[in-house]
């Protein structure tokens, strides 16, 4: 008996247990390719660069913001300072206007005193004591620190210079008033000054000359009073010839007031002076010789000289006052 052929092995069913061994799986060849993708790197780098740029922009923005803030702050501070300067300008303008009233009063009194001391045609030189007393009585219009701690941002430099010159002139004027008062106060000074004024009046009304004389080998000059020669009548004048008309003027000289008068020729550079020296009279510069000629008049002359100096200072001060009134008025009109 023959044996039946063995049956062909049947494939096993899938393992129901995890421990069952699965049939081997066909192995397929796989190629692994290494791809370098730099997109991520670029994006990350770009991200960092973009972040850095943004950070720089933020810093710049903050810096600009702070700078603008400072500029705005500075502008506001400057504007405040300017407004305060304009306010000071208005205040100074008002003060100068008030002081101007005092100066006008002083100017009027000083003018009267100067005119009285000058004398002139039909007038006698004298001291106007009342006018000088009114100058002394004026109250100084400025305090010692009148223009200290002021803001001059809105003021032109020339205006500031003029303002302080004006202030200084006011101080000098009031010192002059005080000095004039000291020289004229009291009865004793009145008497001395009145006597000196009379002598000065006589001096100003008289012309002086010098006539030369010879004493041995020496030449000497004597002071004489000089008067013009009375004019001749018209008929005599018509008879004068051309040479006489062209001749130097003839003057009458005397050694004292009321003394005998003799005729002398005014010296104007004639060439025969050396031979005819006693026939000429040389005029004396009375202005330069006032101290020598005046004597008793010197006291009055000194007072009159101080009055004239004070008048010159007053004129300069009034000029500055007018200029300041205009320039400070422009500052006072500015908006704060």
* pLDDT tens digits, 108-119: 999 999 999 987
Q: What is the pLDDT of residue 19?
A: 35
Check if the beta carbon of residue 140 is closer than 8 Å to that of residue 175: no
CB neighbours of residue 128 within 10 Å: 19
CA-to-CA separations, 289 to 118, 120, 208, 285, in angstroms, rounded: 18, 20, 10, 6
Residues 38-48: what's their mean pLDDT?
52
Total structural domains within the chain: 2
Average pLDDT over residues 280-296: 77
Which pTM was predicted?
Answer: 0.59
Region of residue 132 (left: phi > 0; alpha: psi -120 to 50; beta: else):
alpha
**Could you tell me if residue 23 is inside a domain?**
no
- The mean pLDDT of 80-96, rounded to a whole number, is 79
In a domain, 253, yes or no: yes
Is 270 inside any structural domain? yes
Full domain range(s) for residue 273: 203-232+247-293
Give, for 177, the enclosing helix (H) or strand (E): helix 157-184
115 and 134, same domain (yes or no): yes
For residue 33, give the 3-state DSSP assignment: coil
pLDDT at 275: 87
Q: Within this chain, do residues 126 and 109 fall inside the same structural domain, yes or no?
A: yes
Looking at per-residue pLDDT, the higher value among 320 and 26 belongs to 320
Determine the straight-line distance between the first and last CA of the chain, rounded to whole angstroms: 141
> What confidence score (pLDDT) does residue 23 get?
47
Beta strands in the chain (DSSP E): 207-215, 218-228, 250-254, 262-266, 280-283
Query: Contact, 184 vs 303, CB < 8 A?
Result: yes
Nearest Cα neighbor of 107 from 303, 325, 313 is 313
| Closest among 232, 261, 252 to 244, alpha carbons compared | 232
Same domain, 157 and 137: yes
Q: What's the token pair of residue 222?
A: 């004597």
Smallest CA-to-CA distance from 180 within 289, 317, 311 is with 311
**Residue 35 forms part of a structural domain:** no
pLDDT (average), residues 75-85: 67
How large is the average pLDDT for residues 3-20?
47
221 and 152 in a common domain: no
For residue 69, being part of any structural domain is answered with: no
State whether 195 and 112 are in the same domain.
yes
- Give the C-alpha separation, 168 to 238, whole Å: 63
Contact between residue 292 and residue 194 where contact means Cβ atoms under 8 Å apart: no
SS3 286: coil
Q: How far apart, in whole angstroms, are the C-alpha atoms of residue 130 and residue 180?
A: 12
Tokens representing 161 are 């210079």
Per-residue model confidence (pLDDT) at position 238: 52
User: Token pair for residue 93?
Assistant: 């303008």
> Is residue 322's pLDDT more than 90?
yes
Instruction: List the structure tokens of 9.
Output: 């092995």
Residues 191 and 85 in one domain: yes
Where does 119-156 have alpha helices with state H?
Answer: 129-137
Q: Is 50 part of a structural domain of the chain?
A: no
| Same domain assignment for residues 180 and 303 | yes
- Give yes or no: residues 194 and 207 share one domain: no
Helix or strand or coil: residue 61? helix
Rounded CA separation 101/111 (Å): 16
Do 313 and 165 share a structural domain? yes
> Within this chain, do residues 167 and 213 fall inside the same structural domain, yes or no?
no
């Amino acid at each position: 008996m023959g044996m039946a052929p063995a049956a062909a092995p049947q494939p096993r069913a899938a393992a129901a247990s995890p421990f069952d061994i699965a049939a081997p799986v066909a192995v397929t060849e796989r190629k692994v390719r290494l791809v370098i993708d730099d997109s991520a790197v670029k994006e990350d780098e770009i991200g960092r660069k973009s972040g850095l740029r943004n950070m720089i922009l933020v810093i710049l923005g903050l810096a600009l913001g702070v700078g603008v803030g400072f500029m705005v702050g500075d502008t506001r501070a400057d504007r405040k300072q300017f407004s305060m300067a304009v306010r000071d300008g208005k205040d100074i303008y008002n003060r100068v206007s008030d002081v101007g009233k005092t100066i006008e009063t002083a100017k009027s009194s000083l003018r009267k005193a100067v005119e009285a001391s000058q004398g002139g045609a039909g007038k006698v030189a004298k001291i106007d004591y009342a006018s000088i007393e009114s100058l002394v009585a004026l109250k100084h219009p400025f305090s010692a620190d009148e223009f200290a701690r002021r803001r001059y941002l809105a003021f032109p430099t020339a205006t500031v210079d003029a303002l302080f010159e004006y202030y200084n002139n006011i101080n000098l004027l009031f010192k002059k008033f005080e000095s004039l008062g000291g020289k004229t106060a009291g009865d004793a000074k009145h008497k001395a000054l009145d006597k000196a004024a009379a002598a000065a009046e006589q001096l100003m009304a008289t012309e002086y000359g010098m006539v030369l004389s010879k004493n041995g080998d020496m030449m000497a000059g004597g002071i004489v009073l000089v008067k013009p020669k009375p004019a001749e009548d018209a008929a005599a004048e018509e008879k004068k010839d051309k040479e006489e008309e062209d001749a130097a003027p003839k003057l009458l000289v005397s050694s004292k007031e009321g003394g005998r008068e003799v005729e002398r020729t005014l010296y104007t550079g004639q060439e025969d002076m050396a031979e005819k020296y006693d026939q000429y009279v040389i005029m004396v510069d009375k202005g330069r010789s006032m101290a020598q000629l005046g004597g008793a008049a010197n006291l009055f002359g000194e007072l009159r000289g101080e009055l004239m100096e004070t008048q010159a200072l007053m004129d300069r001060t009034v000029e500055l006052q007018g200029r300041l009134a205009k320039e400070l008025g422009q500052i006072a009109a500015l908006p704060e």
